[in-house]
Structure formats: C-alpha cells, structure tokens
Amino acid sequence: MTFEPYFKFLSIGGDHHAIHTERTSDEMFGDNGDSSVYVRQRMKQACLEDWDATMELMFPGSTAAKKRNRAIVGEAITGVRSRTRLEQFDVAQLQQCVGILMAFERRIKAEPVVEEQAMLELLKLAKEDFRGSAKKETTLLEVMLHKSVDQAKANSKPEATPAAF
C-alpha cells in the first residue's frame, strides 16, 4: 500500500499559505491594542440589527404607509431621520432606542393603532414603560379619555353667579 495519494491530498511538499498577508486583525483592536473596540462594534451592530428586525416586524412591507410609520416612530424615538446619524450613536444610546422600540412593539400589539397622533401617544407610554416611570400599565384608551375630559373642562365656562351684597 502506497501513501502517495494521501500525501498528494494533503499537499505535502506543495504550495502552502500559512498566513494571509492581505488580511490583518487591526479592525479588532483600537489604536492602543484594546479589543473592547471590537466588542463595542459587535454590540452596536447587534443593536442595529434588533432595530431593523423590530421595525420590519411592526411595519412589514414597502408601502408608503408602512414607510411613513417607520419614519414617524424612528424619529420620535431617536430624534434623527438619517440612518447614518443613527449608526453614529454609541452603544448605550442604541440600546436605549431599541429598548423603547421593543416596549412600543408590545404596546402596539396590545392596542393596534393607525392614526399618527395615537401612535405618538402610544409611543409616549412605551417610553414611560421602558424608563419604569409609569405607575401602572396605562392603556391608550385611558390616556385619550383623560385628555378628552381635561379638554372638556378647559372648554366649559363656569356659569356666572350673581355677586352677593
């Protein structure tokens, strides 16, 4: 039995490339050799992927209405319209934005809305949920009811009573 076919398969004595000189690991380290830069980049990328996936789950498709909803919600949460500006956020900012978006997702699944103003009100509740500042789980209907009552009180004029002499 000869080992020649096996050696040819292993390419013993043939051309080998032990290292790839075209690629380096520089992208994994900061200027001072710190690998935490790479970790932050990966975390940032994961946050952006969570953002994209959550937006697509809530507003799937490419209709004008779905694109508008994504733009309204995205700007209300992040304060920016540009994807490039969103990508410039640091990891902590992105994590907060994704957290609010996920709280909004829970809200909109429980109370589906289509009107822009109702969506923004629901988003305010989601921000309170995320920050833990909501005293109890308030529904959009309760918020709208309170606003309606407050508006009615403001619009009603108390009847003039005769002054007592």
Rounded distance between C-alpha atoms, residue 129 and residue 137, angstroms: 8
Higher local confidence (pLDDT), 143 or 31? 143
| pLDDT one-digit tens code per residue, 38-53 | 889 999 999 999 999 9
Mean pLDDT of 3-10: 70
Rounded distance between C-alpha atoms, residue 93 and residue 47, angstroms: 10
In the chain, % of residues over pLDDT 90 = 52
| pLDDT one-digit tens code per residue, 86-133 | 999 999 999 999 999 999 999 999 999 889 999 999 999 999 999 987
Degrees, nearest 5: CA angle 56-59-65 = 135
pLDDT at 153 over 80: no
Degrees, nearest 5: CA angle 30-32-36 = 45
Rounded distance between C-alpha atoms, residue 54 and residue 21, angstroms: 39
- pLDDT value of residue 34: 63
- pLDDT value of residue 138: 72
Rounded distance between C-alpha atoms, residue 108 and residue 58, angstroms: 8
